[in-house]
Structure 1
Amino acid sequence: MLGPDNAIPERGESTAQNAAPYPNPLEELSLQQLRTRTSMKWRTHPADVLPLWVAEMDVRLAPSIVSALHSAIDAGDTGYPAGTRYAEELAAFAHRRWDWGGLAVERTTVVPDVMMGIVELLRLITDPGDSVVVNAPVYAPFYAFVSHADRRIAEAPLGEDSRIDIEALEEAFLRAKAVSRQAAFLLSNPHNPTGAVHTHEELEQVAALARRHGVRVISDEIHAPLVLAGASFTPYLSVPGSEDAFALMSASKGWNLAGLKAAVAIAGAQATDDLRRMPEEVSHGPSHLGIIAHTAAFKDGEDWLDALLLGLESNRALLGALLEQHLPTVKCTPPDGTYLAWLDCRALGLEDDLRLDGPAIVTDLAGPAQLFLEKGKVALSSGHVFGTGGAGHVRLNFATSQEILREAVRRMGAAAPY
């Protein structure tokens, strides 16, 4: 049985566009219902573990997506994808949501998912052995996919405030250009794992720096719909100087569609010719049902998204209160966006090569993440896999019910070595 109810912190002003007609999507499913799922989040660990690690949300699908998928299946519409409706609805969403009218459908192409789109774009604008700059700590698959594409990672560490450090970025650009004919910068916007939403001014500085040093930018904007109260999202391609850059967008994170793969690659005005060199077979990778689901999300899913954002904002506040109660030495800057919290656990005094008694449940854990899993039965993402600056940290997914969140943090506090 989960822990007792606590008072829910009051919400601040929400970024939701209108009063949401839907109930909080995060409170619709019980733990018992969630444990019937067969996805990675719920099948990697034993049933007594609360999984707050991989970026899957504990929600039902938005009704508009359910309706679109049922209609397609009832009609047997399960063939090959065609047309540009996905990009059209994404462009309309971007105009409504972010007041960005610059997403030109003719400068887009569908790709299997955001990470595969990144790899294909890197193949267009860099050569094997070239450097790809990232802001560490950053989404762990950046390292794996870039390396598997035979490119080299060059880290530009985030600043002490967990935001882009322009001086460190320029140093990384200089190192990258010194050993590469063509270098790229892989931007996480909003940033995973810290949840920082880059400001317009920060992105203008990035664009100016990239232009000065001849570095091409690819912006991963998969978390763009998930910007919380107190911040606003700026599409990278909307800032001056980004004309030779690319962005990738998807409904995957905003509407929990990771298993229905599809994404859109977008070229800046001066990168269109590069995008046209994308091999035609890449567009065969997205799922037709995935494209239908993502299109429905951007077209008719905003009310559901608004309800989700209200729930996430409440959970963000609750998490802060729970950490203060159960883990007062753990530091967490409230994220501007995403549903991911980056917890600094270094004050717990755990080494990242910590090995507890008995075999580890999984092999890619160290330090606090391993402690919380083995002693607290809470699965979190281990900070060390996010690159330099990640050691001693964990990433927590708070896109779950408040009951589960309360119990998870209570278990973590009980496991901490005080």
Structure 2
Amino acid sequence: MILNNNEVIELNRFDRVINRKGTDSAKWDYTKNIFGVDDVLPMWVADMDFPAPDEVIDALHARVDHGIFGYTMPGNETEKSIQRWLKKRHDWEIADNIITYTPGIVTALSIAIQAYTESDDKIVVQPPVYYPFFDMPKKHNREVLFNKLHLNKDNRYDIDFEDLEEKLADQKTKMFILCNPHNPSGRVWSKEELTKIGQLCIKHDVLIVSDDIHSDLLLFGNRYTPIASISEVIANQTITCIAPSKTFNLAGLQASAVLIGNDSLKRKFNSVLQLHGLTTINTLGAEAMKAAYTHGEIWLDELICYFEESVLFIENYLKEHLPSVKVIRPEASYLVWLDVRDLEIRDDELKNLLLNKGKLALHLGSTFGENGSGFLRMNFACSRESLKEGLVRLVKALN
């Protein structure tokens, strides 16, 4: 709190600036390793500069104070916390015993590729998209088919369903990886779009792996539909991946949940997990997951309001200072997709300007696929003060 003319003004909890340097933060301490420079403002990787909810921190303190950190299995209360969360936030009622735990969603993706596909099988992804979607299949010697998304006149991405069906119809296509909500654009797919995807995958017997990690971070009244909630038939052919990591800034605790309603698919998934010795998750990760899903709702609602204000701030600032850059308004998440194609700057020069002139570290759009070239992804999960500084640096670099 601060005093102003004898009045007490409550600062927004998300306006606090917390120094993260010296904590081995990938975002703050390793820019030299990743970008070749260390004097930049990092707004690239998807984690927040906010502390987790107090209830989560209290739960972790209590577990640490207990002092014993033997082998731990996520228990019934953890499962119930996930079920209650999905029902209350997304009106999705999931059955008992469909949850498997992994250290992260990229890990879950790798396990799914090994469990359900063979070498030289084909996997469909929708670029521009989170790059492990195509990197991980290639590492497993799977061929990647790109169903490119198209930016429409309203600055929203659309799915080319004719092209999607053509790629799903390939006899060697065994898996479709969905990003819902979409990263990097923040697009929340509609129930109608998801139903069409599900029907095509059923028609061509293609398994759906859906990364729904940003599904809790819904902005401006948008509604998220889990594709597995649409029908029993679609659910029977879907692997859904969720986690509290983006929602509550818990990525370093490495705990995610994989929802598999099909018993046969779940057994195959768990078999590969056991093959790699992944039989449980981090003790503190499980504790944080349970506390976040049980007590984190009020904190999250406040966070979403803050994010919406941040998006409007970005739009207004760039409209005034750099109108040639178009903001693709996110419908979910704390990542904003910036269209800088009108500047006609090559990606290598764009990178140089950002790092050396603007002293700003962002993800180039080409990281997310060739149709991401000419875009930038900026993480705005920081204080408004830090966000403004990032925008000042962006304008300095590109103007």
TM-score (norm 2): 0.89
2:247 corresponds to 1:254: yes
Aligned with 1:247: secondary structure?
A: strand
Show the counterpart of 1:26.
Answer: 14
State the Cα distance separating 1:23 from its structure 2 match.
6.5
Q: Partners in 2 of 1:298 and 1:60 — Cα distance?
A: 16
Aligned with 2:371: secondary structure?
A: coil
Q: Partners in 2 of 1:41 and 1:408 — Cα distance?
A: 14
Q: Partners in 1 of 2:333 and 2:113 — Cα distance?
A: 25
2:323 corresponds to 1:328: yes
Show the counterpart of 1:40.
Answer: 26
- Counting only pairs closer than 5 Å after superposition, residues 232-311 of structure 1 correspond to structure 2 as 232-240=223-231, 241-243=233-235, 244-268=237-261, 271-277=262-268, 278-279=270-271, 281=274, 283-284=278-279, 286-311=281-306
State the Cα distance separating 1:236 from its structure 2 match.
1.5
Q: Partners in 1 of 2:282 and 2:12 — Cα distance?
A: 29
Query: Residues 254 and 305 of structure 1 are in contact (CA less than 8 Å); yes or no, is this contact kept in structure 2?
Result: yes
Aligned with 1:259: secondary structure?
A: helix
Deviations 1:349-372 (A, max 9, x none): 111243xxxxxxxxxxxxx24421
Moved over 6 A (4+): none
2:150 corresponds to 1:159: yes
2:390 corresponds to 1:408: yes
Show the counterpart of 2:187.
Answer: 196
- Counting only pairs closer than 5 Å after superposition, residues 324-403 of structure 1 correspond to structure 2 as 324-354=319-349, 368-403=350-385
The alpha-carbon distance between structure 1 residues 205 and 370, as it changes in their structure 2 partners (threshold 3 A), is: farther
Deviations 1:334-362 (A, max 9, x none): 100010011111111111243xxxxxxxx
Q: Partners in 2 of 1:109 and 1:23 — Cα distance?
A: 40
The alpha-carbon distance between structure 1 residues 326 and 254, as it changes in their structure 2 partners (threshold 3 A), is: same
Q: Partners in 1 of 2:378 and 2:120 — Cα distance?
A: 34
Query: Residues 150 and 160 of structure 2 are in contact (CA less than 8 Å); yes or no, is this contact kept in structure 1?
Result: yes
Q: Partners in 1 of 2:187 and 2:20 — Cα distance?
A: 29
Select between 116-125 and 38-47 the one with higher mean Cα deviation: 38-47
Report the AA paired with residue 40 of structure 1: A
Show the counterpart of 1:87.
Answer: 79
Query: Residues 30 and 38 of structure 2 are in contact (CA less than 8 Å); yes or no, is this contact kept in structure 1?
Result: no
Query: Residues 211 and 242 of structure 2 are in contact (CA less than 8 Å); yes or no, is this contact kept in structure 1?
Result: yes
2:174 corresponds to 1:146: no
Select between 109-118 and 248-257 the one with higher mean Cα deviation: 109-118
State the Cα distance separating 1:37 from its structure 2 match.
3.8
Q: Partners in 2 of 1:379 and 1:341 — Cα distance?
A: 14
State the Cα distance separating 1:124 from its structure 2 match.
1.9
* Root mean square deviation of aligned Cα: 1.8
Aligned with 1:242: secondary structure?
A: helix
Show the counterpart of 2:92.
Answer: 100
Q: Structure 2: state its 5+ residue gaps.
A: 1-9, 32-36
Q: Partners in 2 of 1:327 and 1:290 — Cα distance?
A: 42
Query: Residues 328 and 339 of structure 2 are in contact (CA less than 8 Å); yes or no, is this contact kept in structure 1?
Result: no
The alpha-carbon distance between structure 1 residues 225 and 23, as it changes in their structure 2 partners (threshold 3 A), is: farther
State the Cα distance separating 1:25 from its structure 2 match.
4.1
Query: Residues 156 and 171 of structure 1 are in contact (CA less than 8 Å); yes or no, is this contact kept in structure 2?
Result: no
Select between 220-229 and 83-92 the one with higher mean Cα deviation: 83-92
State the Cα distance separating 1:294 from its structure 2 match.
1.1
Q: Partners in 1 of 2:80 and 2:20 — Cα distance?
A: 34
Report the AA paired with residue 394 of structure 1: L
Once the two structures are aligned, what percentage of the paired residues are identical? 34
Paired positions, count: 374
Q: Partners in 1 of 2:343 and 2:253 — Cα distance?
A: 39
Q: Partners in 2 of 1:171 and 1:343 — Cα distance?
A: 30
State the Cα distance separating 1:303 from its structure 2 match.
1.0
2:53 corresponds to 1:67: no
